[in-house]
Structure 1
């Protein structure tokens, strides 16, 4: 695990940069933004877009230029809503980043004396960085496509599909890792289940 230490060190510095209370406040604010964007942003805007007969998910899953062009033509009357959804997606990405990093930071601080257990939130923070990067890239390729519907490079479809597939692959590991980190941190904080198991190596 010593080989991974340089990779994890920025995560440790992030966790130690502020108090647990500050991380908790950041998590609370991020959670409110996270849920608010879904409830008051994604839901109504997506409904408006779906009135065209397609959703942005259909666009992200389209694999041929003919499919993409058909969806783009259907989006023309609701293009402002599609653009707004892209902006909301970036707000969602940033809120999710701070929510997950704050929760992992609290877990990491709690597990500081358990070297091996502390790997769980460290790995989780790495997964969060990768998933948010892939989500940002996926959104970026979509923007490049719908802002240039007549002349976008076909390679953007491949990049969009690839980013989406990789994103969900990472997300399917990222969310359970967060859940495990939180549960383990709570067990360490409120029980003695891991007492005497802290790694005593320097």
Structure 2
């Protein structure tokens, strides 16, 4: 049990470092950036890149050097857009990290005294950390490939594919975990309010 508490101590410290109000402000700003990058950044830039017949998703899914080389050759006229998308991706990663960590921190403050329920936001924060880590690594391998199209190491393709696979596996659990943490925190909060009202003297 002590080892389990030690494992989650860093996320507990993050949650305790700020008030729920501060976490709420960070979550609000991060959400605006998160959505703004998608609507104002990813959508128009991706459309520009897709005029080549390929997308960066095709590059990330490519498994052979021949496939990657064909995509890089097609990307050459819009390489500025490809580079911009990589920069936006890192902004998206940071915004998502802060958004999820802040929401989990708020949930943790509500659930930390409810036995094992407090583990859910802690696990969620761990999933967020590693999903964003592998997303960053995937983006890094892509950058190393397209910035050196004539002489990149073939191992980068395997690293890119592996990072993408792990990232999506983590994300598939990360989002439901956040939803469960928020739902439980709201349930506990409303239950506490109801109990408080019922205990008032008539």
Q: Show CA shifts across 1:101-129 (max 9, x none).
A: 00000000011211200000000000000
2:119 is aligned with 1:131 = no
User: By percentage of residues, which structure has more helix?
Assistant: 2
Work out the CA distance in 2 between the residues paired with 1:7 and 1:77: 48
1:198 maps to none
Correspondence 1:8 to 2:16: no
Q: Which residue of 2 aligns with 1:27?
A: 27
Matching residue of 2:200 = none
Counterpart Cα distance in 2 of 1:153 and 1:182: 43
Q: Does 1:67 align with 2:67?
A: yes
Match of 1:81 in 2: 81
Moved over 2 A (4+): none
CA distance in 2, matches of 1:112, 1:56: 41
Corresponding position of 2:94:
94
**Corresponding pairs, count:** 194
Long gaps (5+) in structure 2: 196-202
CA distance in 2, matches of 1:3, 1:61: 38
State the TM-score, normalized to the length of structure 2. 0.94
What is the alpha-carbon root mean square deviation over aligned residues?
Answer: 1.2
The aligned counterpart of 2:50 is 50
3-state SS of paired residue (2:16): helix
2:152 is paired with a residue of what secondary structure?
A: coil
Q: Which runs of 5+ in 1 are unaligned?
A: 196-202
Q: How does 1:148-167 map to 2 (within 5 A)?
A: 148-167=148-167
